[in-house]
Amino acid sequence: MKKKSFFLLIAVFAAALLVWVGCTTMQATDTAKASVSEITTKWEGSGHADITSETFNHWNEDDPAEVPPVCAKCHSTSGFRDFVGADGSAAGSVEMAGKIQDPVNCTACHSTATHELDSVTFPSGTEITGTGSSSACMTCHGGMGSGQDVAKATEGKPEDEPIGDQAIIGNHYFAAAAVRAGSDGGNGYEYEGKTYVGTFTHAPGVETCTTCHDPHSLHAREPENSDTSLCQTCHSNVTGYQEYKTVSMSKVDYDGDGAVESMYDEIEGMKVLLHQAMSQYSANVGDGTMFGFYGDVYPYSFIDTNKDGQITEDEATFPNQYKLFTPRLLKAAYNYMFTVKEPGAYIHNGQYVLQLMYDSIEDLSAISGVTTTGLTRP
Ligand code: HEC
Ligand code: HEC
Ligand code: HEC
Ligand code: HEC
Ligand code: HEC
Ligand SMILES: [Ca+2]
Ligand SMILES: [Ca+2]
Ligand SMILES: [Ca+2]
């Protein structure tokens, strides 16, 4: 479908929806409701409406050109409606392949079935209930894997011997809900004998996906009748998204670089240390082939051919994939990717990803030589 006619269709549909939402409204408020055209404009500018994104075009060349049921829940509106049962099929499962170029439109989130949705089941198998209007968000942003997949792949195997032809395990992309839920969701690789923080509830007024994110623009909400940003009420230096990365509440030097920095920078520092630990560990086990991670190129896990501790573009090629994971390295790499592929982790649950990375560094330390001395575990 042409982009223009697609948006026209959305506009006509949106008008009808307004009446319907108006009659059935889930959360009636005193504040004047945003007009449907305002809502539609906001939505059009969001990633959910980006009909050109790889996310909605990845299967175009397949025969037949459709999104397989296992991917359709999050990669098409038709698949999401199938998942919630809005298409008359069973709820909680996807029966049919999804449509290509079918981004997250109004009818994904606005159906009786979606409005009634009040829980989410994470890939770990853990169910969280009472999730209200954030349920849809959490369903698509809950990720595709969990620490349990890593546990299964490593169970009973010697920690420091290559498993053999083992690719990196990740939990997919933008899994904000999985990170935010912390150990309540159980999606990180949690080491035995350690305890982990649960859901990061943040502060009153910004406790859920939909109180913090405008569900249509996806940006942070703009409080009504106020000149301040949603964040500024509590973080006085934050006037817009440029400053999110400067917020520092905990005032702890987690990464041990001698400076108390923002949560964002502490996480960045911990990431660098964990990458160092993983590459030095890999050089000291098996045949010494060095591992490195490169987030921009699938499958992200590569051989560091010149052993300089980083993967450059020339090394990030599919044939140069690293598949010599030992159980210990596979666990650490999972936690690393869990953090890297959720760029908002510093807002959604910084402490959880710091704990996971700290424990990964510690687990590798005897062989990697990178220790936790000077680091602080939240
Ligand atoms: C049907 C699945 C689905 C649902 C439901 C969903 N999302 Fe998304 N979301 C996606 C996909 C897919 C992307 C990536 C879009 C792209 O690549 O253009 C995305 C992107 C985003 C982004 C990144 C910013 C942007 O503009 O791309 C944010 C923030 C976001 N979603 C928040 C939310 C919130 C909040 C909700 C609930 C109100 C929600 N999502 C519900 C699938 C979903
Ligand atoms: C639980 C929801 C969910 C499921 C299930 C899911 N994805 Fe995704 N996927 C997402 C979200 C959210 C994004 C958006 C991330 C972004 O824009 O970077 C995404 C992005 C992608 C991308 C684009 C990555 C990029 O770098 O732009 C590809 C390719 C992809 N997924 C493949 C798959 C495949 C293949 C399956 C099925 C085996 C699948 N996904 C199942 C949620 C999901
Ligand atoms: C990713 C999910 C999502 C998508 C896509 C989405 N909405 Fe919404 N919408 C919500 C949620 C959640 C609310 C609940 C109201 C709130 O929390 O502000 C809402 C509220 C509304 C309301 C009530 C307005 C109000 O101020 O309470 C209308 C009307 C509406 N949406 C129309 C639309 C239209 C039209 C589209 C498509 C252009 C659309 N929505 C796309 C999630 C979504
Ligand atoms: C109602 C007050 C309030 C609002 C609104 C608010 N925050 Fe916070 N924020 C806090 C408090 C309190 C903490 C510390 C919570 C804790 O550690 O338990 C915090 C922690 C954080 C952290 C982690 C920092 C650290 O060092 O632990 C980040 C990042 C953050 N907020 C960003 C934001 C952004 C971005 C917004 C706007 C979208 C926002 N906050 C809105 C009160 C608020
Ligand atoms: C305290 C406010 C707040 C809450 C609560 C919150 N987010 Fe976010 N989220 C943000 C901000 C701010 C960004 C932008 C981060 C940036 O640009 O660095 C963001 C980024 C994102 C992104 C974009 C890429 C990524 O994964 O980092 C997605 C998707 C997302 N949030 C989904 C969710 C979902 C789903 C929930 C509920 C489980 C949620 N958010 C809860 C404030 C919040
Ligand atoms: Ca179904
Ligand atoms: Ca520091
Ligand atoms: Ca290199």
**What atom of ligand 3 comes closest to residue 133's alpha carbon?**
12
Identity at 219, one-letter amino acid code: H
User: Measured in angstroms, how far is the CA atom of residue 292 from the centroid of ligand 4?
Assistant: 33
What does the pLDDT read at residue 254? 98
Q: Which residues contact 147 (CB under 8 A, 6 or more apart)?
A: 124, 186, 187, 188, 189, 190, 331, 334
User: Measured in angstroms, how far is the CA atom of residue 65 from the centroid of ligand 1?
Assistant: 22
pLDDT above 70 as % of the chain = 91
What does the pLDDT read at residue 6? 55
User: Measured in angstroms, how far is the CA atom of residue 234 from the centroid of ligand 3?
Assistant: 26
Q: Which residues contact 22 (CB under 8 A, 6 or more apart)?
A: 33
What does the pLDDT read at residue 314? 97
**Ligand closest to CA 44:** 3
Kindly give the parts of the chain with pLDDT less than 50.
1-2, 8, 23, 25-31
Q: Which two tokens stand for residue 62?
A: 């397949």
Report residue 26 CA to chain centroid gap.
27
3-class SS letters over 59-120: CCCCCCCCECHHHHHHHCHHHHHHHHCCCCCCCCCCCCCECCCCCCCHHHHCCHHHHHCCEE
The β-bridge partners of 166 are 324
Name the nearest CA neighbour of 352 among 370, 378, 376: 378
Burial 255-293, CB ≥16 within 10 A → b, else e:
bbbeeebbbbbbbebbbebbbbbbbbbbbebeeebbbbb
Q: pLDDT of 218-271, one tens digit each?
A: 999 988 777 778 999 899 999 889 999 999 999 999 999 999 999 999 999 999
User: Measured in angstroms, how far is the CA atom of residue 344 from the centroid of ligand 5?
Assistant: 6
Q: pLDDT of 21-60, one tens digit each?
A: 554 544 444 345 679 999 999 999 999 999 999 999 999 9
Q: Which residues contact 359 (CB under 8 A, 6 or more apart)?
A: 190, 191, 194, 335, 377
User: Ligand 3 site: residues with CB under 6 angstroms?
Assistant: 10, 14, 17-18, 21, 27, 33-34, 36, 39-40, 43, 48, 104-106, 108-110, 133, 136, 210, 215-216
Q: Which two tokens stand for residue 303?
A: 């051989």
Give the burial class of 344: count Cβ atoms within 10 A of its Cβ; 0-12 exposed, 13-18 middle, 19 or more buried.
Answer: middle
